[in-house]
Structure 1
Amino acid sequence: MAKKTSNKTLPLPLYDELLKLDQDVFVSATAYDHPTYLTDNMVHTFRYYQEDALRFFHNSQTLDQFQYRHPNHVLFNMATGSGKTDLMAGLMLYLFHEHGYQNFLFVVNTNSVLNKTIDNLTNPQSDKYLFQQSIEIEGERIRIEKVSQYPRQPQENVIYLKLASIQSVFNDLFTQRENTMGLTDYSRHKVAVLGDEAHHYSASTKKEKEEEKSWERAIDLILAAHPDNRLLEFTATIDLDNKNVYAKYKDKIIYRYTLDRYISDRFSKNVKRIQSSNTDLDNMMNVVLLSEFRRRFALEYHGSQIKPVILFKSPKIVDSNEAEVKFKELIIQLSAEKVEDFIRFRSRISDDEQSETLSRAYQYYLANEDDLPQIVREMKRQFSPSRIINANDSDRGAGMLEKGQYEALNSLESPSNLYRVVFAVAKLTEGWDVLNLYDIVRISDTENAKGTKTSTMAEAQLIGRGARYNPFELEGEISYQRRFEDDGRDSLLLETLHYHTVNEPQYLKNLVAALNEMNLPTGEDKKNPLLEVKIKPSFKRTKLWKEGAIYYNEKVEVDDTYYDNLAKYGIDNQSDITLNWKFTAKEVTYRSNQVYEDYRDTHVVAVELDKRYFVKAMNRLTFYHFSNLKKYLPQLESREAFLGEQWLNISNRTLYAVVPAMFSRKDFKAEEKLEILEQYLMEVAKKIQTGYQKAIGTNKFIGYPIREYVADYRKRIPNYDTSSMRLLDKPDPQQVSRHIIKEDFFVYDSTIVNLTEKQLIDRIAERVSELKEEYEHVYLIRMDENMHRESVKSDALKLYQFGEKVRERRFEAFQPDFILLLENTDQYLQIFIEPKGINLLEKEQWKEDLLMYINSHQADLVFEDQVDGLAIKGLRFYTMNDGRSTMNQLSKMTLGKSFKSLSLEN
């Protein structure tokens, strides 16, 4: 049977055009600077893909090529958990400020999502409110008002937000009642509609017929009610394989952030399946032991407080209620003796059938046998009836909303919320975004044990929703991305969602197929031993091993006392300031009616400012509020002091603007002076933020003895049997496996790498003989971070940015994956090499920039060791099939010419 074509390959004209424009460095109009009024007014920092989505939307509304088609109906196709509601909130502020929209309609098809979103967008008292408590744009306070009807005369600086189910909007449109909104209300002033879970609004499209009063029809009527009405739809799942859905949305999809990218970017938990032929009661015991072990492990090993939540999913309400009774009885009867007997019986299962994570839990309890009575008492308290929610009061048959328990279900991450267990039917309700869900247990379905395609797809969607990452605190830091090695102990316990399910072959086949269709990588949680990776004895006999070193640049810690003036932030506070004033396409002088469009003839004009302008501008820009300014300028005593000689030095400097030749100093209006000053202050703010560092890389490179820092290590191969990120029948370049390498040039006996990394090793292997014509010693070292996991020295082997001319200031360090060492009597050459997946090139460009910076600043490098002929260099990223000619760069760098057969390859 021919393989089904992935909908990733279908052309999407609008998205494809915007993507091409965004990647074209010659199109300056797409260099959209993410506005500060968004970053300052949102609780969360936008992730790179959310900024991309905002930029794509901005470009679609402003670039000349879209002027006549003016997309007023667009769809954002973004993975579950990727922050669509954050994006909606940002788009509301954008449309309000940039395009004058005050009326917004949020629609969704379930009350649970609706209630959650009301808290997200309109309730400042909610823990999940997405805006800052005070919304301020250009010095003006903005208020968001929840309404049931839009006012006839909107007030200035107010956003009116109606939040409703699509059913109620539909009923209002087609049932004339008092105090409801008909089409006239959507035609009086322009409205922006935010349609969440948009895959529900294409009923007639899917049925291939037009139902006059369908939900889809209701939304279409609202969109057509005013020429400037806009519809922004959001969904994680869109069936582009359906020809009618594809025909409707192919020109409307404006941005895509798919599940495989979301997982690859480490914004989700990993997902593992625990498959067994256990009874429901045995699975309940297992998940209780595992969940409590997670909590204790986080506290005892990392000092982190987490509260892992368990969801028991049943096919019917009667099954769910029966399961709850069984669970409560299990907890009541729980004792140390029963736990020990259960574990010892389960431990007899062969290693091939054992769950890696459950085995760790069993070992923990057996190792703490003396404390088991106390542990079980705590366990009974953690899973007492008062900490269980039965969420089977169904909302349209698919909800989790029970009267009086909505707040509890939507605040499960809160430290004051003690609930540990949820019983529910069907799937997780769309929009239920609990982050600390770690275990989902499938209660057996005796009537349909094999599962239908529909039911297993629902389960796959449930798993995808449950995989949101839990940003727990570790060593005083909160992270919103996975921090540990996949399949390692810490990752399995703190960064993995476990799905406990039956071991029925046909059911598992259907489930795996559904997971594959969703591009959701999962694997069975089985015993996965650590593999030994050892340094070859032949390398240990070499002089390089005994006496050689690898080099990384030094970092120096920076105390807050260092930051005592703006110069320490890389800001010139002595010279006068010259800015290009941002002109529109046409500018009118204020002394005549003449219009001039040609700005090639310009001159510089002083902008006359006094202290009042600076105070006003700083009041309008949230960054310059003293409480925020103090975060970045710890030595600053007051806002008044910021204007003095030590900092902004306004008394001794003049601000100049480049303006058209016909424009003179007296033509400036006060508001324009303020605009120019704000432009300058925003540039200063960015430099302050990027210049404030706790550690700074230097140009001094330190030699670390190879024999002390390159070591044997152990590592697991991630175990996944559903493969995302594969392109049709092509192999996955990120699929990890172990490879034995016998040739002496590679210092380890084997390596655990993905396909891109293996291909790099193979290509270098093919060139070793040519390299040895010039260099006596040629060695490639895989710098795996597992090599240093037990060593306090690991942070030393990192590269840090240094110098003042870097293109993008970054403070984190990184360890390139490979080091190629080349040595002869005259030279000792160390080359950093970093393979990279295509999808990560843009995100991690700063790493390549650092490697290239080293090459272009060789004269600036200082070495602690006096080694003759020592040089440190870096290659651009190596991508699959050497699409960026990295091997050619290596040959020129090492031999001064191309490798003999390189031209045939490329």
Structure 2
Amino acid sequence: MQGTEILHKQIETQFASAFTEVPDVPEYITENLNHKLRPYQIQALRQFIFTQERDISDMSYNHLLFHMATGSGKTVVLAATMLYLFKEKTRQNFIFFVNSDAIIKKTKENLMNEQSSKYLFKPEGIVIEGQRINLQLVDVFPEYPDKNTVYLKLTTIQKLHTSLDKTRENSLTYESLKRQPLVLLADEAHHINASTKRKKRKYTTDELSEKTWETTISTLLSLQPQNRLLEFTATINLENDELFDKYRDKIVYQYDLKQFMNDGYSKNVTLLQANQDDNDKMLQAVLLSQYRKYVARDNNIELKPIILFKSNRIPISKAAHRSFVELLQQLTIQHFSTIIQSGLATFQNQKSIWGKMYRYYQNMDYSKVIRDLQWDFADENILDANTKEFLEEKNSLSLNTLEDPNNPFRAIFAVAKLNEGWDVLNLFDIVRISEGNTNTKKTTDSEAQLIGRGARYYPFVYQSEYSFQRRFDTLPSELKALETLHYHTINDSTYIKRLWKSLEEANIQVREDDYILKQAKIKPEFKKTELFKNGRIYINQVISTTKEDYQTLKDYNIQTEKELATDSIVETLYGTSTEIINTIQLREFRWDVEKSFIQKGIQRNPFFTFNNLKQYVPAISSMKTFIESPSFLGNTAIHVSLPKDFQLTTYQKLSLIDNFLVYVERNIKNNYMKTKGTPIFEGVAFSELINDYYVEISKVNANVTNMDEFKQPRPMRHFDWYVYDQAIVNSWESSLIDFINEFMGELKSKYEDVYLIRNERKVKIVEINGTRGFMPDFLLYLKDNDVTYQVFIEPKGDHLRLQDQWKEDFLLSLSEREDIEILSENDEVRLIGLKFYSTTTTYKNDFREDFEKKLLN
């Protein structure tokens, strides 16, 4: 698989093919983690497992890098890889290293302290196949390890290097580490690349140290072929040719900050520029922080928002701390009233966060607000991160448990100790104190890094739902304040220009503190139409499955005649060169799987014990039935592509049946006792599903945002076939409207009524006999003398086509299935699904052909 393309892209390409069985994340991983894995974390683990299940993993995939954004949960992925390597590869010795003692303390809490709110494993302990697994901290690894124990050494890279370089009693040695396989876990791994980065340049003093660290790690990895080095970082510069050459065949998964923020897993970031002095700026920030707390309280949400006051020198930070305490102690009702009235005069008619805040305070009891401020921000609830005491473990851990209800801190005064390794979710305000117009690139780069860390999303329960993603981007809600990080800074053009540049380089999406709330209204003339008054939109009914629905493996969406990939066989024979592999002649081979291989595969997979399997497959009476019945595995056949004249060995056949049974297991679990869509479509009154809607349009930094996905209002008043007065759409949705407009003359000559309807989170259809559902972006309503047509249309960006292919398949099936039943007052209603619309020429031509064939010809 090696070549010029980055490893993770090679894997993703293989996953998208029909010949590669995508590995699932084992249940023993998900069952032993304290938090549900997010989709991108699952994908990261699947791609990692894929490399480790290859025959060439010791040679080609012993050193891998997870390039994942700050806040994306790299440590959760790290913990999951430990469980996998222990269970599947019997690895017991792990060394976690990083360049900072603070991160070591944080990681110790995450991996070892069952009482910590950030403990990564289930508090009741790690259990695999009924066995309790112990996770034990060590300085050296035991010569005779206990079977059910994972041994973990936590250390800095500096200490690890020194320990190996200068051997002492009861310390690690290269000789001792040769005896057992070793897994190296490198966090903030960009610190161990000095030798690679500086091949052609002179080293600085610090880089000379880092060069020796890189050599140490390389030596440890090479001690055994079974050793593994897994690196985790959010920061790697692939524009550097040396780093690209080193890591292009090692980046097993990439999920950068831009994608992380676009997917909604972070807070939004907003810059607040002001010319105020420090005291006014600090007071405004405190009022904003307390406003967040009140909004959360009003919505039954537990939240203790944190403010970070950042300075460039310790004396300035300490002076600001003293001023802050005095400011709140001396706050009076008269002063507070003056602040609110002044704010209202300035922001009364604005929809910015300031306008919302001042209008909120306007109707509150000022004396109560002051009491709350003085209580919440009392000096004992302020953390000075500049003192020697801060370096003690107690205060350092307090900084990493700020979300805990029993952690009293609401504000932090700091200089530069918080940029790397700081893990906090409830930071909502960063206030820049007394820095004048300091605007060097080093300064703004550091601030961008801090902003990136502060943008970690704070998950909360709202209306009984818990979410790790933003929910209010396009909704007019005060709860936006709980999904936004505000960076309070000076209004200096040179500094702001440099900061924007640093933010762009860091791929941090930034919004200005202003937005326009756009409303799409149904046109008055459309409300007078028969369609709006009496028309119906057809969506399919959903039912719960029963045990009787599962009589054969087909009921679990399982094919017992299955095509599997054998690329590992080809690579073992011919190497991984793409040029060579492309020249190999392959033949199609059908293997009718013998019962003995199925029995052996089942014995190797604990899911297929009868007692466990019976819970998911109630139709079987014995394992004999499951193995031999044509309704189950009796007629299993595997199709593979093999080099000419090559014969499968017994070992290779067992590997194929193992992969096939993983596929069977996954589909059995995913499809048993779920709610499923039916082919019965019933009409819902048009006016119930189609009504006015709002979309919030923000000014976004175009350089770090995918502008194709950025929604913009488009006037549609003069297009009588569009039911809303404007379309609030992204680039490919707007392109679809242009496409429809091109054909409007032909459509109107063929149909009496033609209406294009934007579906804004209302009309949902569910896969027939499946559990997946979605809301097509557009409905095209057509009516002639005899028939009413409801056409589902979905514009799709090319980067989403593969993962959403099932949606297109579902849409296309609506025109082809014979079992579709439409419950309507007249029988002349037809449902049509079209191929995805895309702006790419090839896909657009495919859509055009489908459109003309189904709607015009």
TM over 0.5: yes
Provide the C-alpha distance between the structure 2 equivalents of 1:226 and 1:677, rounded to a whole number of angstroms: 27
In structure 2, do the counterparts of structure 1 residues 853 and 433 end up closer, same or farther at CA, with 3 Å as the change threshold? farther
Q: Does residue 87 of structure 2 align to residue 97 of structure 1? A: yes
The more displaced of 131-140 and 32-41 is 131-140
Provide the C-alpha distance between the structure 1 equivalents of 2:114 and 2:83, rounded to a whole number of angstroms: 16
Is the Cα contact below 8 Å between 2:265 and 2:456 reproduced in 1?
Answer: yes
Q: Deviations over 1:586-645 (max 9, x none)?
A: 9xxxxxxxxxxx994654479999xxx99x968999x96xxxx9xxxxxxxxxxxx7899
Structure 1 residue ranges without an equivalent (≥5)? 1-9, 587-597, 630-641, 662-672, 727-731, 786-796, 897-906
In structure 2, do the counterparts of structure 1 residues 555 and 278 end up closer, same or farther at CA, with 3 Å as the change threshold? farther
Provide the C-alpha distance between the structure 2 equivalents of 1:620 and 1:140, rounded to a whole number of angstroms: 17
Choose the corresponding residue for 2:65, options 55, 70, 75: 75
Quick one: which amino acid aligns to residue 713 of structure 2? Answer: R
SS in 2 for 1:193: strand
Q: Deviations over 1:412-455 (max 9, x none)?
A: 22222232212221263423221121111122313xx1411111
Provide the C-alpha distance between the structure 1 equivalents of 2:163 and 2:320, rounded to a whole number of angstroms: 41
**Structure 1 residue aligned with 2:170:** 179
Q: Does residue 233 of structure 2 align to residue 240 of structure 1? A: no
Percent sequence identity is 38
**Structure 2 residue aligned with 1:666:** none
Q: How is 1:232-381 mapped onto 2 (pairs within 5 angstroms)?
A: 232-300=230-298, 302-349=299-346, 356-368=352-364, 371-381=365-375
Provide the C-alpha distance between the structure 2 equivalents of 1:228 and 1:161, rounded to a whole number of angstroms: 17
**Structure 1 residue aligned with 2:681:** 701
The Cα shift of 1:822 comes to: 0.9
**Structure 1 residue aligned with 2:828:** 869
Choose the corresponding residue for 1:48, options 31, 39, 56: 39
In structure 2, do the counterparts of structure 1 residues 679 and 525 end up closer, same or farther at CA, with 3 Å as the change threshold? same
Quick one: which amino acid aligns to residue 107 of structure 1? Answer: F
Provide the C-alpha distance between the structure 2 equivalents of 1:892 and 1:450, rounded to a whole number of angstroms: 64
How many pairs align?
A: 800
The Cα shift of 1:347 comes to: 2.9
Is the Cα contact below 8 Å between 1:617 and 1:678 reproduced in 2?
Answer: no
| TM-score in terms of structure 1 length | 0.80
The Cα shift of 1:184 comes to: 1.9
Q: How is 1:368-767 mapped onto 2 (pairs within 5 angstroms)?
A: 368=364, 371-393=365-387, 401-426=391-416, 428-446=418-436, 449-486=437-474, 488-490=476-478, 492-526=480-514, 528-555=515-542, 566-567=547-548, 600=591, 602-604=593-595, 655-656=627-628, 687=668, 690-693=671-674, 697-707=677-687, 709-726=689-706, 732-741=707-716, 742-767=718-743
Structure 2 residue ranges without an equivalent (≥5)? 570-588, 638-653
Choose the corresponding residue for 1:138, options 113, 119, 129: 129
Provide the C-alpha distance between the structure 2 equivalents of 1:126 and 1:778, rounded to a whole number of angstroms: 60
In structure 2, do the counterparts of structure 1 residues 327 and 513 end up closer, same or farther at CA, with 3 Å as the change threshold? same
Quick one: which amino acid aligns to residue 354 of structure 2? Answer: L
In structure 2, do the counterparts of structure 1 residues 619 and 763 end up closer, same or farther at CA, with 3 Å as the change threshold? closer
In structure 2, do the counterparts of structure 1 residues 198 and 654 end up closer, same or farther at CA, with 3 Å as the change threshold? closer
Provide the C-alpha distance between the structure 2 equivalents of 1:497 and 1:340, rounded to a whole number of angstroms: 26
Is the Cα contact below 8 Å between 1:274 and 1:355 reproduced in 2?
Answer: no
Provide the C-alpha distance between the structure 2 equivalents of 1:37 and 1:684, rounded to a whole number of angstroms: 14
**Structure 2 residue aligned with 1:820:** 780
Q: Deviations over 1:481-511 (max 9, x none)?
A: 1122347434521211111111111111111
SS in 1 for 2:160: helix
Is the Cα contact below 8 Å between 2:65 and 2:251 reproduced in 1?
Answer: yes
Quick one: which amino acid aligns to residue 534 of structure 2? Answer: E
Q: Deviations over 1:310-359 (max 9, x none)?
A: 1112212222212211221122122333222112113333689x671121
In structure 2, do the counterparts of structure 1 residues 697 and 254 end up closer, same or farther at CA, with 3 Å as the change threshold? closer
Provide the C-alpha distance between the structure 2 equivalents of 1:204 and 1:507, rounded to a whole number of angstroms: 34
Provide the C-alpha distance between the structure 2 equivalents of 1:60 and 1:436, rounded to a whole number of angstroms: 36
| TM-score in terms of structure 2 length | 0.84
Quick one: which amino acid aligns to residue 375 of structure 2? Answer: R
Q: Does residue 195 of structure 2 align to residue 204 of structure 1? A: yes
Q: Does residue 766 of structure 2 align to residue 801 of structure 1? A: yes
The Cα shift of 1:745 comes to: 1.6
SS in 2 for 1:231: strand
SS in 2 for 1:416: coil
SS in 1 for 2:832: strand
Q: Does residue 100 of structure 2 align to residue 110 of structure 1? A: yes
The Cα shift of 1:18 comes to: 2.5
Quick one: which amino acid aligns to residue 703 of structure 1? Answer: G
**Structure 1 residue aligned with 2:574:** none
Provide the C-alpha distance between the structure 1 equivalents of 2:478 and 2:362, rounded to a whole number of angstroms: 20
Is the Cα contact below 8 Å between 1:580 and 1:658 reproduced in 2?
Answer: no
In structure 2, do the counterparts of structure 1 residues 601 and 895 end up closer, same or farther at CA, with 3 Å as the change threshold? closer
The Cα shift of 1:801 comes to: 1.9
Is the Cα contact below 8 Å between 2:676 and 2:768 reproduced in 1?
Answer: no
**Structure 2 residue aligned with 1:84:** 74
Choose the corresponding residue for 2:758, options 778, 782, 787: 782
Is the Cα contact below 8 Å between 2:475 and 2:695 reproduced in 1?
Answer: no
**Structure 1 residue aligned with 2:24:** 33
Q: Deviations over 1:676-730 (max 9, x none)?
A: 999989967864664445x65444433333345433333321221253245xxxx
In structure 2, do the counterparts of structure 1 residues 428 and 877 end up closer, same or farther at CA, with 3 Å as the change threshold? farther
Provide the C-alpha distance between the structure 2 equivalents of 1:570 and 1:289, rounded to a whole number of angstroms: 63
Is the Cα contact below 8 Å between 1:272 and 1:497 reproduced in 2?
Answer: yes
Choose the corresponding residue for 1:163, options 154, 158, 167: 154
Is the Cα contact below 8 Å between 2:348 and 2:359 reproduced in 1?
Answer: no
The Cα shift of 1:462 comes to: 1.1
In structure 2, do the counterparts of structure 1 residues 326 and 874 end up closer, same or farther at CA, with 3 Å as the change threshold? farther
Q: Deviations over 1:814-835 (max 9, x none)?
A: 3222111111111211112222
SS in 2 for 1:711: coil
**Structure 2 residue aligned with 1:633:** none
Provide the C-alpha distance between the structure 2 equivalents of 1:248 and 1:120, rounded to a whole number of angstroms: 30
SS in 2 for 1:164: strand
Provide the C-alpha distance between the structure 2 equivalents of 1:307 and 1:34, rounded to a whole number of angstroms: 35
SS in 1 for 2:750: coil
Quick one: which amino acid aligns to residue 311 of structure 1? Answer: L
Q: Deviations over 1:451-491 (max 9, x none)?
A: 11111111111111111111101122211111223474345
**Structure 2 residue aligned with 1:18:** 11
Is the Cα contact below 8 Å between 1:270 and 1:495 reproduced in 2?
Answer: yes
Is the Cα contact below 8 Å between 1:120 and 1:126 reproduced in 2?
Answer: yes
Provide the C-alpha distance between the structure 1 equivalents of 2:758 and 2:784, rounded to a whole number of angstroms: 21
Q: How is 1:879-898 mapped onto 2 (pairs within 5 angstroms)?
A: 879-881=838-840, 883-884=842-843, 885-896=846-857
